[in-house]
Amino acid sequence: MLRRTVVSLLTVLVCLPVLSRAQDTRPGIAVMPFQNGGSYGQDKENFDALERGIAGMLISELSQNPAARVVERENVQRLLDEQNLGADGRVDAATAAKVGKLVGAKYMVMGTFVDLYGRFRVDARLVDVETSEILKVVRSDPKLEKREEMFRLLQTLAERLMAETKLPPLPSEVSQAAKARNVPTEALTYYSRALLYQDRGDKAKATEYFNKAITAFPDYAEAQEGLKKVSGA
């Protein structure tokens, strides 16, 4: 009797995420780590970190739209690590679609960034999970090419991705709050480093860099949340 009860409980726990997704009819969107397309002028560790940081900030911006169900970055990274996907440093649309199916997403966002001594560009590709087709290539605004404008660049890129997935615009109060916010590139860089160390399992370094990000931008909610996660709070 006890054994049957334990098995039943385990079955329910395993099925909960699937049931949760089935009940949520909003289109799911997941973001892959972005790839360095050939960058110069910064420490290599900064560029490695931006692969996570760009994805993290796009997820944060997309999550503000209540019409979408956005998959947490850690869930995507965990799948990539567990299944050794993209281990060769290359991720194609088919790989992105495979991950998308596993996390219950309708769309996957993947792409590359290039930082040429402070001139910054991001190209994002929107993938249909069902067909593995690249629906659209969305490029960052060429008017926002300075590294110091990275946050605003990512913000506008997220807006374009929302439009391409036919999501409604952000509610006016959310949109106004988003426009009033501007995370300094220094803080974003620290945040990216923290995500890199978090993925490597280095909690001490992740904590250090989440704290640096918060010092550089005290209202950095994403860094505050990251700090809670690595500290187990």
Q: Over the stretch 73-85, which tens digit does the pLDDT of each residue have?
A: 999 999 888 877 7
- Shared domain for 83 and 161, answered yes or no, is yes
pLDDT at 89: 59
| Total of domains in the chain | 2
pLDDT at 82: 86
Task: Kindly report the CATH number assigned to the domain that includes residue 73.
Answer: 3.40.50.10070
pLDDT at 172: 84
Among the candidates 160, 176, 192, a domain finishes at 176
- Shared domain for 195 and 133, answered yes or no, is no
- Shared domain for 61 and 169, answered yes or no, is yes
Both structure tokens of 115? 């930082």
Is residue 13 in some structural domain?
A: no
Whether 185 contacts 150, CB under 8 Å: yes
- Shared domain for 92 and 169, answered yes or no, is yes
pLDDT at 83: 79
Distance CA 190, CA 108 (A): 26
pLDDT at 88: 61
- Shared domain for 188 and 171, answered yes or no, is no
Q: Mind listing the pLDDT tens digit for each residue in 174-227? A: 888 888 899 999 999 999 999 999 999 999 999 999 999 999 999 999 999 999
More confident residue, 194 or 1: 194
Is residue 157 in some structural domain?
A: yes
- Shared domain for 94 and 188, answered yes or no, is no
pLDDT at 64: 93
Residue 170 has pLDDT above 90, yes or no: no
Whether 126 contacts 138, CB under 8 Å: yes
- Shared domain for 67 and 166, answered yes or no, is yes
- Shared domain for 71 and 159, answered yes or no, is yes
Is residue 62 in some structural domain?
A: yes
CA dihedral of 76, 79, 80, 84, whole degrees rounded to 10: 180
Domain that holds residue 89: 25-176
Tell me what the mean pLDDT of segment 113-128 comes to.
95
Distance CA 80, CA 229 (A): 20
Q: CB atoms < 10 A from the CB of 8, how many?
A: 10
- Shared domain for 148 and 215, answered yes or no, is no
